[in-house]
Every structure is written in C-alpha cells, then in structure tokens.
Amino acid sequence: MSGSVLVRQVRIVDLDGTSPASRELRDVLISDGVIADVGTNLTLAPGVEEVDGDGRWAIPGLWDAHVHATQWVRTARMVQLGGTPEPDDVLGRLHEPLAELARRHPDRTLFGFGFRSAGWSRQPTVTELDAISGATAVVLISGDAHSGWLNTAALTLLGEPARDGAVSENEWFGLLRRLDELPGAVPGPADFIDPITALAAKGITGLVDFEFADSFVDWPLRLAARVGPLRVRTAVYPHQLDQVIAAGLRTGDPLPGTGGLATMGPLKVITDGSLGTRTAWTHEPYSDGPATPDHPCGVANYSVTELVEFIHRATAAGLETALHAIGDRANAAVLDAFAAGGGRGSVEHAQLVTRGDADRMAALGLRASVQPAHLLDDRDLTDQIWGTERAERSFPLRMLADAGVPLALGSDAPVAELDPWLAMACAVHRSGDERPGWHPEQALNPREALAASVDGRRLRPGEPGDLVLLDADPLSPAPPAEAAHALRHMQVLLTICNGTVTHATCNGTVTHATH
C-alpha cells in the first residue's frame, strides 16, 4: 500500500514559528511510505514518481480528529433537515421524499438528518410523524446525533415499545448503532470510495473514526475494497470493549490487513449530552429554564465512579481513553475521573470549560479534541440558553492553548462539514457569516490552527509520508477575517498519503510523473 515519490522545490510551511520568514526551496523524498530525506537537489531513484512543486507551499497531511465515518457517508444520502425552526417544518420537508420512496422503494426506510430541537417551542411527537408516514419506517437523526425522532413503523422494526416522544442520549445511542438492521440503511465498503476520494482533494490524509458500530472491523474491509489510501484511527465504545481486549488490540496497533494505514484508537465514552438536545451537563441551570423537565442542568450519562472504572480497564488493556464532555460540569467530572483513574487520552469537545479546569486539563497531560465549526450552529443558541457569562468560555480555544493544552481540530462529521479548512477558519475568526467573530478573544492564530490539524506531524525524515501542496501561503499575515477567508478557500494542488498521490490538480507544472 505504500509508495515512493520525490516532491521538488517546495516551501515547507513553518508550523512551529522557528524558521525564518523567507524559506529556501526544499525537496522532500518519500520512500516506501516514509519521509526519507528533506534537502536540496535530492537524487531521484529509478521508478520513483517525481513532482515539481514549483515553489508552492508544503504542509503535512491534514487530519480530522473526530469523525463518525459511517454516519457521515449515510447522512449524505438522507433528507436534509437543517434550518427547521419547528417540528412542522421538518414534517413539511418529508412529504415529497415519502411519496418518492413509496413509488420507487416501498420497503425501504426514510432517513433524515440535521434537525435541532433545542430552540423549538415544543418537542416532536411520534403521533404527528405517524400521521404523514403511515407504514413507511422513518428515522430522523438530530444534527448533533444525540437524539432521534422515529415513527411507530421504525420502532416496531427495531423491536422497541411504542412511545410518543423522541429518543435521546444513551437510549438513542443503543438504537443508533442498530440502524443497519433497517431496510436500505447499510452503506457498503464501495459506498466509501467516492467520499474518501473527495477528502483527498481537501488535503486530508487521516481521520479518527468514532463511529458507534465496529469501525475497527469495518476499516480493514474498506481498505481492502480500495477505499483510500487513508490513515484511520478507530475507536471502541464500552459495548465493544470486551471484544477489543480479547483481540489484544492496543492503541496504536495496526489493524490486520491494512498495511498499518488503520490502527487501533482509544476507548470512547460519551459522558453527557449536547447543547442542541439540551442535555449538556452544566454547573448551573440553563438560562432560559430547565434544560429538560427532569434535568435542569442537563444529563450525566455516567457517574465519575463509572468513568474511573472505564479508564482503569482501558489503561490496563493498553488503550487510551477519549471522554466526550460538552457542559462545564461534564468537563469537570471528566477531569475528576482522569485524576483518579490515571491513563492517557483526550477530552472530546471541551465546549464549555472553566478557567480552572483548563489548567487542570493541561496538568493532567490531556489533549483537547475540539470542533470549531460547531460554533456556527451554536453561537446564537449558546447566548439564548446558556447566557453571556457561559458564552465567554464556550469553544475556549485560546484559553486552552494558553493553559498549555494540546489541541486537535476536527469536525464531528456529520454534525459539521468534514473540512479541516472550515475548522481552521472558524478557529481563527469564529464566524461563518457577515457578523464579527463571536468572542474573538478565544480565537487561535492561523499557525496554531494549522498545527492543530496535522496530528502533530512535521515534514522531516522518519515521519509518515503524507504531504499536501498548497497554492498559497496559509500563514500569510492578514486580519482574522481575511485570514479565515483565505483558509476557507485554500486550493489544494496535491495530496500524498503513505507515499501515494491521492489528489493532483493539473495546473501548469505542478505535477509531473516520471516512471
């Protein structure tokens, strides 16, 4: 699966701020999937592909640190429900797809994705969904993937009892990983080829897959079906932990049959809910009233004692731990658990954090895996249901960075677009429209955002053979809004993963192969 290529005459982007502003042109030799040399006038061995970089800017391959890959591929084929201000608007979008499905595939399930109920004046009911869908099974997934709105036909197919409300958190996650049982739901390995190929055009060479089902089983099958090449780190959830321990898989171990492209990742535990489902666990009640009728401060999915046990089991098995935490109380509980349980790993999301907990996260040596593009959906909702004081420490990238917490940027796709350039732009400017940046004091600079998007890698000998060639300097000095615009529209000319060219734009002398 590995390849060899010599990329000539490139300007290596300084991700550490230690090189002179005027960079000399360098050649980068990748041999058998590993960077073998970086220098000038390197010798081209027979049979090695050669690429003329023509003075363009080179960076390591980009990573998305938080993806739900199967859901990402699946939801792209679903009815899109974003921007629906009330349940009635969701129902209105389903009439035509339901009629089309009845004509062409009457036995299949209708899936929808993207509604956000936190700001609705009322919560949806199964009864009203049944009224328009009849015997056709319907599954609607919230934009944050923390709740599902199913009709009676779908609940029956899944063997679930009748109910009249949406399903959320742990109860929903149990159903979410069973959606493949429904007719028309399963994306096969071949369904991943085109989406993954499109990622290469954005410079992506790796991702961390937090899919709820068996990603550590599925990715070897996908790579064998010629998906990629792409590097993947696969997570395990508590319901799969015994299986992974029995297989002897430890974090960092290559998965069999993948040539090292897919490796075992961490144990993932979802400790609280989300802002969009009003289940994120906070220290204080929500500003606009109780988070839910039964939980004024959101929901804790596990106790600290249970989290400590998860960390102990993972650490003993050689696994890192990735703990999801959105609300500030959830982040505090996660840090309590890491402090008591030891182990290594990450806090996934770290969306609302106190300043003291940012310092604790750094002291514990934890990584913050953050998704800046979520603020595009959450900025107004945060102001509405959490209030000004909490908004000031929401998506606290600057606070975390200044505290010394290593950052890893991602998308949480399909919750946000799987695009590292969008994530970087949001980290730098914190706005997706004409409005000024939202709490710009929490922004990163472009160098910090880019460095948090390459999985800690650099273009130097011994590193993985992943390289991306850009048409412009991503660190060109500019005000935040202009810098973010440049990042958002960055042109990727060439992507190399594991020594293999996965994307090339024919543009003058940018690419030239010698065989």
Average pLDDT of the residues in 26-50: 96
Q: What digits encode the pLDDT tens for the residues 454-505?
A: 999 999 999 999 999 999 999 999 999 999 999 999 999 999 999 999 999 9
CB-based burial, 214-250: b 16+ in 10 Å, e otherwise: bbbebbbebbeeebbbbbbbbbbbbebbeebbeeebe
pLDDT band at 510 (very low <50, low <70, confident <90, very high): very low
Q: Smallest Cα–Cα separation from 350: which of 310, 382, 323, 319? A: 323
- Predicted confidence (pLDDT) per residue in 205-258, tens digit: 999 999 988 899 999 999 999 999 999 999 999 999 999 999 999 999 999 999
Classify residue 241: in a domain, yes or no.
Answer: yes
**Band of the pLDDT at 42, cuts 50, 70, 90?**
very high
**What does the pLDDT average to over 420-440?**
97
Q: How much is the pLDDT for 188?
A: 85
The three-state secondary structure class of 289 is coil
3 state DSSP class of 459:
coil
Of 436, 456, 476, the residue that ends a domain is 456
The gap between the terminal CA atoms of the chain, to the nearest Å, is 18
pLDDT at 21 over 70: no
Question: Is 497 part of a structural domain of the chain?
Answer: yes
CA 86/CA 124 separation, integer angstroms: 9
Asked whether residue 72 is assigned to any structural domain, the reply reads no
The answer to whether the beta carbons of residues 463 and 189 sit under 8 Å apart is no
Q: How far is residue 374's CA from residue 359's CA, in Å, rounded to a whole number?
A: 23
With 90 as the cut, is the pLDDT of residue 23 above it?
Answer: no
Q: Which of 416, 441, 456 is the last residue of a domain?
A: 456
**Euclidean distance between CA atoms 317 and 248, whole angstroms:** 8
Same domain as 277, residue 235? yes
Residue-range definition of the domain harbouring residue 235: 189-456
In-domain check, residue 6: yes
Q: Are residues 17 and 82 in the same domain?
A: no
As a whole number of angstroms, the distance between CA 481 and CA 477 comes to 11
Three-class DSSP category at 456: coil
The CATH number assigned to the domain holding 89 equals 3.10.310.70
Q: What percent of the chain has pLDDT over 90?
A: 87
> CATH code at 321?
3.20.20.140
CATH of the domain at 50: 2.30.40.10
217 and 112 fall within a common domain: no
User: Same domain, yes or no, for 440 and 475?
Assistant: no
Q: How far apart, in whole angstroms, are the C-alpha atoms of residue 193 and residue 494?
A: 18
The strand pairing partners of 58, in sequence order, are 12, 469
Same domain? For 244 and 300 the reply is yes
Strands 5-12 and 49-52: parallel
Q: Is the pLDDT of residue 268 over 80?
A: yes
pLDDT of residue 330: 98
245/264 same-domain check: yes
Q: How many domains does the chain have?
A: 3
Q: Are residues 313 and 209 in the same domain?
A: yes
State pTM to two decimals.
0.89
**Nearest CA to 427 among 372, 482, 486, 487?**
372
Residue with tokens 């992507």: 495
Nearest CA among 223, 229, 255 for reference residue 2: 229
**Residue 66 located in a structural domain:** no
39 and 150 in a common domain: no
Give a yes or no: residue 69 inside a domain: no
Q: Is 353 within a domain?
A: yes
Q: Tokens 């914190």 label which residue?
A: 430
Q: CA torsion sign, 235 to 237 to 238 to 244? A: negative
One domain, residues 384 and 462: no
Distance, in Å, from the CA atom of 333 to the CA atom of 223, rounded to the nearest integer, reads 38
**Are 480 and 401 within one domain?**
no
Among the candidates 153, 181, 209, a domain finishes at 181
Phi, psi of 198 (to 5 degrees): -65, -30
Look-up of token digits 């106190």: 354
- Structure letter (DSSP) for residue 190: G
Q: Which are the contacts of 293, defined by CB distance < 8 A and separation ≥ 6? A: none
One domain, residues 171 and 132 = yes
User: Cα-flanking dihedrals φ and ψ of residue 301, to 5°?
Assistant: -80, -25
Q: Are residues 203 and 177 in the same domain?
A: no
Q: Within a domain: residue 238?
A: yes
